[in-house]
Structure 1
Amino acid sequence: MRTPIATDGRLDAAAKHPGLSDPRYLLRRRAIASLARGHRVGAPSPRVDYTEAEHRTWRTVHQRLWNAQREHACRAALDAREQAPVPADHIPQHAEVGLHLRALTGFDFTVAGGVVGNKRFLGSMADGYFHAVQFVRHPAVPMFTPEPDIIHDVFGHGIHLASPAFADVYRLIGDAAMRVQNKDVLQMISDVYWFTLEYGILDEAGIPKAYGAALLSSAGEICRLRQARIRPLDIRAMLATKYDISGYQPVLFSARSLDEVTTTLDGFLSALDDDSAPRYGRTAEP
């Protein structure tokens, strides 16, 4: 499934986050998420009338993230954001984002209300659709969200999908997910997706630079890349590495270029079939 992401915090911070306990916020979040009920992939996303407070949260995060990305994002991500639909003054509607992305790479946002199953979430990328939510994180903690919100989706995946090179990686993953049915193999694809398109980094002149969407959308985590244990890009190592969905990632995988990421993923994904799990030491849960 599309794993929840907690950026800029640890498990204890996530547990105490007002976004998980504020009744008024939860009512608003549920109302926005409910718009995705029964949504067909590729159908137009419903419009959300964001409040001024929600737009203010966006502007607060935009100011800090834009500066953090400038210092810590890789060149490919910085080049992509020059074309990306990331306005400084307001939360964009899905239609606004999609119109822009379709002209650049053929991708579009399709609405999600929250967690989406692996087959649908990953497989939709083959057809040029990325499941994105519409609700906004709690205003009291604008630099931390215990789950993906529209800031994560636009600042992370929206930047990616403005780049043909990144869009090709999404399609590689989508094609593989469409081809298989086995849940264990789909989870393998999801795990590799996590360590690359969500949390991947590149080595640029010996300095770790972020390209993963979760890093690009986290003002705190993108600034502390060197504090993680950085390992060379390796599919088997990724599949054997546990990850922390509730806070900073203790292990990150680094490639020398986006081309290396694409080539490595292509070699792994193109050979996958429904019988692949045992070859990687992955077995079905009871």
Structure 2
Amino acid sequence: MGATSYGASERPPRGDYSRDGKVAADYTCPQNYAAYTPADHDTYRRLYERQTALLPGLACDEFIAALPSLGAKNRIPRFEEINDKLTPATGWEVVAVPGLIPEVPFFTLLANRKFPVTDWIRKPEEFEYIVEPDVFHDLFGHVPLLFNPVFADHMQAYGAGGLKAHRLGACEQLSRLYWYTIEFGLIKQTDGLRAYGAGILSSSGELVHAVKSPEPKRIALDLLRTMRTRYKIDSYQQTYFVINSFQQLFDMTAPDFTPLYAQLRSLAELPADAVLAEDVLVVR
């Protein structure tokens, strides 16, 4: 399971966007902690236990090292408890949102080092799969790496870049980069490939598929190639893009993307399973 925290959907977004007037103009709101039931906390606990058991040999070292900073394992954490550790570490804070939010508020929050976390949790019958991000996906999948200074700086830069992409009409292209890195990225470690994307890390099935399966293509990250490539939202990915380090990701995405967007306008989109002659394939 994985999804960006913004974007359009064919059905109305899930979540209570009224909150009795408590949702701000930027879509942030108080975490409705009192609304969580014992079943909600138990769902979080079971998801946390399942995913944690799968991490060794599949998740990147930086994620595994940062995961304990999330705090509570047997219940849904209070966001302020996480911020007590996260803000001193990298200057980020977790803020609650009712669900999917539009692009500009999403980018603006990131640019100000605020990560929007959906505060509702899936139902027990959705334990294995959910289309939209919930509190488990957002907290477990995304927040630990915000404790990593280089990744944290990349996320802020992505938010600023997203605002620029919106002005240039290039959000679709930039969203593909988000999808194939922040949501479904792989990283090369000395002991093999590992996952760092939140959509992989929060899914039991895709975590194994992305790192171990012989089926998907694994390609060294190239910005133009990645932003041309469409992606799947309802199945495991057919292609994963691989970085060598978070510093490489930060350095690759630091330059002005305006020339890239100009190039992309003259290039055809690629299907999710495309293979190009110039692709640098990464073996497991």
Report the TM-score when normalising by structure 1.
0.80
Question: Which of 74, 95, 99 lines up with 2:80 in the alignment?
Answer: 95
What's the offset of the Cα at 1:247? 2.4
What's the offset of the Cα at 1:105? 1.1
> 2:282 is matched with which residue?
none
- Residues 68, 34 of structure 1: CA spacing in aligned structure 2 closer, same or farther, 3 A cutoff? farther
Question: Which of 158, 170, 178 lines up with 1:173 in the alignment?
Answer: 158
> 2:195 is matched with which residue?
210
Equivalent residues of 2:221, 2:241 under 8 A apart:
yes
CA distance in structure 1 between the partners assigned to 2:238 and 2:139 by the alignment: 24
Question: Which of 247, 252, 268 lines up with 2:235 in the alignment?
Answer: 247
Question: Which of 203, 206, 224 lines up with 1:221 in the alignment?
Answer: 206
> 2:223 is matched with which residue?
235
2:159 counterpart of 1:159: no
Equivalent residues of 1:202, 1:254 under 8 A apart:
yes
> 2:248 is matched with which residue?
260
2:60 counterpart of 1:74: yes
CA distance in structure 2 between the partners assigned to 1:207 and 1:120 by the alignment: 37
Equivalent residues of 1:45, 1:94 under 8 A apart:
no
What's the offset of the Cα at 1:242? 0.9
Indicate the SS of the match to 1:161: helix
CA distance in structure 2 between the partners assigned to 1:255 and 1:261 by the alignment: 7
Indicate the SS of the match to 1:78: helix
What's the offset of the Cα at 1:180? 4.7
- Aligned-CA RMSD value: 2.7
1:210 maps to amino acid: A
> 1:59 is matched with which residue?
45
- Residues 186, 53 of structure 1: CA spacing in aligned structure 2 closer, same or farther, 3 A cutoff? same
Equivalent residues of 1:97, 1:158 under 8 A apart:
no
- Residues 243, 43 of structure 1: CA spacing in aligned structure 2 closer, same or farther, 3 A cutoff? closer
Equivalent residues of 1:61, 1:143 under 8 A apart:
no
Equivalent residues of 2:43, 2:124 under 8 A apart:
yes
- Residues 181, 88 of structure 1: CA spacing in aligned structure 2 closer, same or farther, 3 A cutoff? closer
List alignment gaps of at least 5 residues for structure 2.
Answer: 268-284
- Residues 161, 41 of structure 1: CA spacing in aligned structure 2 closer, same or farther, 3 A cutoff? farther
2:121 counterpart of 1:133: no
Equivalent residues of 1:202, 1:208 under 8 A apart:
yes
Higher relative CO (Cα under 8 Å, sequence separation at least 6) belongs to 1
What's the offset of the Cα at 1:101? 1.4
What's the offset of the Cα at 1:80? 2.1
What's the offset of the Cα at 1:48? 2.1
CA distance in structure 1 between the partners assigned to 2:228 and 2:180 by the alignment: 11
1:32-63 per-residue CA deviation (whole Å, 9 max, x = no partner) reads: x5438632449662432210000110111111
> 1:191 is matched with which residue?
176
Equivalent residues of 2:145, 2:152 under 8 A apart:
yes
Corresponding pairs, count: 257
2:64 maps to amino acid: L
What's the offset of the Cα at 1:181? 3.8
1:102-139 per-residue CA deviation (whole Å, 9 max, x = no partner) reads: 12111112222222222221232111111111010121
Equivalent residues of 1:47, 1:93 under 8 A apart:
no
